[in-house]
Structure 1
């Protein structure tokens, strides 16, 4: 089964999804063109940069982390740099350094490191998965907000692990709290199928998990709408991706085996699904309570300097907990036992509950204060 709306189809894709009922309109800042999902796509990176509006005479900043990545028998990142040099570009490599826990996190310091290497004449390439992409796109966004200069930015995903590549939101640690903040989209995307194929299998599993949370996120969103808490509910993102259960079941074997067809269909599904929420400017279609659970796990790991599991793995496991809550709600819930006073405590009670919850994560109280600032 192929996707009804294929993001590899360029202008035809954007024209088609703009006619889906519920689409709020697609402005020029939403268009990612081209999005290439091909074998050997890495070798088209110089061409894609030019199509996106960059020029070989420009300063080209290439952002990556120190993780060794293989593409067949070659080392991916040196190969990408060489491809650019062979085409006449002069790439400046920026290798981000992990924090004290040995992992790279999307935080203000890392974003500032990237932004400090930019100037108004820069073009930018990121080579990495979710964290490198979020850091880079947020640095580009912040640079534009500060200077008014929009830099050409091309992302080269290195794993089918997460939806950051087509999201106009970034998940950033701010004062110990992981927050989703407005960001920007890449101008173009280069999905090299060999690179995605050779990523660790656990990352592919995480990418599938990140998409399969829809079985609890859409009910969350619909209930919020029916209760008058969120008027933005729309069938648009569901129509855009079709029937995930059928798509994943039909393609499970090829995805697991890493065939070109399986790698491409997963990459396209993730790209299209997350574009759906970017167009709506709302993460709710694919981010509900299960993401809150995952973010708390991330925050605790950050505070303790411990490694974290992959985002998609965490959220799909958390979605199973949420699914059990729905099972209870549908089969065992007794409305007569609801205590409205417990559902709607006063401001002081809520503040105390937040402080107690976050004290296990950050004894200093900083994370609780940051979280409370959002509620006030």
Structure 2
């Protein structure tokens, strides 16, 4: 199954830098022939972690895969050990391991792929995907830890993605359920992106990129149970959706088609757990639960708009905003680097909103709300349906049910302060700047989530 030419045709431009995506049983066996077709592949760097990976038949395959490409080549293997994070020392290690290679092969899941996309640079980079766990394989961006803060950085496109259905079916169920959770962000992230266009942020809104995966929303909800049970056909469909989502982000030149407030909440939890020396849950697990809460906040906000009860937008003064950022993040490290990094990004957002007269722009949008409401309703989904899909797949519905649970206090902190983390505009920003994201509002959304079976 090849996707890139179809996407380029849909967008009317050769926007995708990925040469090919192969989703098939036995796809990993194509790796030797792909390397042979490259102009140079005498020296191959292999990047992986120290975890075992198995096919659906229970057979480990990493060693066999490396042996299959070793004939006539020099193979340099870099093994990242333990709980791998895409932080600066780890990325530096990967860069060093790939420095003298003609081509790079990454065997692993989302974080490994993000590291590999940076370490490979302009070298051909072939990714053997070991789970349908996240949507970040098929784009030219990587989520990295910069001064303790999750940041999206430009990287390079993989040359080829090899997505083996036998490997997906052999992956731990929690990883593929995580991929479902990451994809469930399609029910809120495109709406956040559309909202940001009111304020001339996030490089503008593209309906084509926003709906590239959103149009498969009903199909995603239908396969939720099969994904949870590792049904091969449903995993292959999920892999296609995950890949399309990555391609949409790459084509848009930003993660906005699939990353809004729900992803920011997940990043906040990761940052908090890092500061507390606690392990992180899988990214998609967190995103799935957060999407329920974000959809509830969207519903509350749209009801306020419909009843003409949304307060006017008011920007805080720079001093007020800086105090809020440092209050939210200064506990995370003694040097204050996390707070400083967050303030550097949030200050840019605040300056932009002031420059464009954000209050006036919101007023203009509300005066023509009928057209906007129709678009937003087509992008959003009811939280009850999202909860139903998560429940059917066996995924967590509450942050306390994650593989590494988050405390209610940490969840409340992440929700209340996620808008202060980066220079992106989401529904959390609109709610905060209109005075409808107070501590009481956060508590109310968590209570509503509990009523539909989700939340903290």
Q: Would you call these one fold, judging by a TM-score over 0.5?
A: yes
**Structure 2: gaps (5+ residues):** 349-456
Match of 2:311 among 310, 332, 338: 338
CA distance 1:192–1:289, shift in 2 (3 Å): same
Match of 1:39 among 2, 21, 25: 25
Note the C-alpha offset of 1:96. 0.8
Q: Give runs of aligned pairs for residues 9-88 of structure 1, distance below 5 A.
A: 9=2, 13-14=4-5, 16-20=6-10, 23=11, 25-27=13-15, 30-55=16-41, 58-71=42-55, 72-85=57-70, 87-88=71-72
Between 248-257 and 124-133, the greater mean CA deviation after superposition: 248-257
Match of 2:136 among 164, 170, 179: 164
Number of the residue aligned with 1:307: 279
Note the C-alpha offset of 1:234. 1.4
Number of the residue aligned with 1:185: 157
Offset from partner CA, 1:209-254 (integer Å, 9 cap, x none): 1111111112112222234445621111244336223212443454
Between 157-166 and 248-257, the greater mean CA deviation after superposition: 248-257
Note the C-alpha offset of 1:315. 1.2
Number of the residue aligned with 1:372: 343
Number of the residue aligned with 1:260: 232
Measure the CA separation in 1 of the matches of 2:318 and 2:76: 51
Measure the CA separation in 1 of the matches of 2:229 and 2:270: 30
State the superposition RMSD in angstroms: 2.2
Q: Does 1:135 align with 2:115?
A: yes
Number of the residue aligned with 1:144: none
Note the C-alpha offset of 1:171. 0.7
CA distance 1:191–1:53, shift in 2 (3 Å): farther
**Structure 1: gaps (5+ residues):** 1-7, 142-149
C-alpha contact (below 8 Å) 2:227/2:234 kept by paired residues? yes
Q: TM-score, normalised by structure 1?
A: 0.85
C-alpha contact (below 8 Å) 1:41/1:193 kept by paired residues? yes
Measure the CA separation in 2 of the matches of 1:242 and 1:315: 16
SS at match of 1:124: strand
Measure the CA separation in 2 of the matches of 1:97 and 1:244: 37
C-alpha contact (below 8 Å) 1:120/1:151 kept by paired residues? no
Note the C-alpha offset of 1:133. 0.8
CA distance 1:178–1:24, shift in 2 (3 Å): farther
Offset from partner CA, 1:70-92 (integer Å, 9 cap, x none): 2233223212222223x543322
Between 317-326 and 225-234, the greater mean CA deviation after superposition: 225-234
The runs of at least 4 aligned residues of structure 1 exceeding 6 Å deviation read none
Between 112-121 and 351-360, the greater mean CA deviation after superposition: 112-121
Match of 2:169 among 187, 197, 206: 197
CA distance 1:329–1:119, shift in 2 (3 Å): closer
SS at match of 1:312: helix
Measure the CA separation in 2 of the matches of 1:192 and 1:93: 21
Note the C-alpha offset of 1:108. 1.1
Number of the residue aligned with 2:429: none
Bigger relative contact order, structure 1 or 2, given CA contacts below 8 A and separation 6+? Answer: 1
Number of the residue aligned with 2:367: none
CA distance 1:133–1:193, shift in 2 (3 Å): same
CA distance 1:52–1:268, shift in 2 (3 Å): farther
Offset from partner CA, 1:305-342 (integer Å, 9 cap, x none): 211111111112111111111121122467556264xx
C-alpha contact (below 8 Å) 1:34/1:48 kept by paired residues? no
Offset from partner CA, 1:147-184 (integer Å, 9 cap, x none): xxx21210111111011211211111111111111111
C-alpha contact (below 8 Å) 1:212/1:244 kept by paired residues? no
Measure the CA separation in 2 of the matches of 1:220 and 1:199: 32
SS at match of 2:292: helix
C-alpha contact (below 8 Å) 2:103/2:120 kept by paired residues? no
